[in-house]
Amino acid sequence: MAVQFRNLEVTPRDPVDRWGPEGILTAIDRGGLAEWRRISCAVAADPHGPVAGDLEEALELAEDAGAARVLQLALERARASEAERVGWRLREYVWRANMTQAEFARAVGTSPSRMSTYLSGSVTPSAVMLERMRRVAEEANGS
């Protein structure tokens, strides 16, 4: 059954930017994947815009902790810097390679401390190092 908004002048079929905090809260607590995806897409399109602000407000009141956490992560991901995004990609490479960070660092020819700075996003690796990391992850994974 599709979510319904009660006591609101908007419906779930309206654009998310018209829902306001109350509609978003309803979607978090009583909606499903379709509504959560629409919220996430709206936030990704404008990470500091009105929907993002409404989502922040709704997250403080949400009862569905799981849905709230997923949408909180979507908000954080939308607002992340490029360096943080590179760090996420590198953590995925380490995970796919099924290695510890120290093992992965040795495999790509850097120190564990330097690898840590790459993974945290505080230092961005060169294009050559990024390519080496991708290749090591693929080779270790058998891709």
pLDDT of residue 74: 95
Contact by Cβ (8 Å): 43, 51: yes
For residue 52, what are its two tokens? Answer: 């993002």
Tokens of 96: 């796919």
Q: Which of 31-35, 80-84, 136-140 shows the lowest per-residue confidence on average (mean pLDDT)?
A: 80-84
Best CA proximity match to 60, nearest among 22, 18, 30, 34: 22
Q: Which residue has the higher pLDDT, 142 or 115?
A: 115
pLDDT (tens digit per residue) in 7-52: 999 999 999 999 999 999 999 999 999 999 999 999 999 999 999 9
Give this prediction's pTM: 0.71
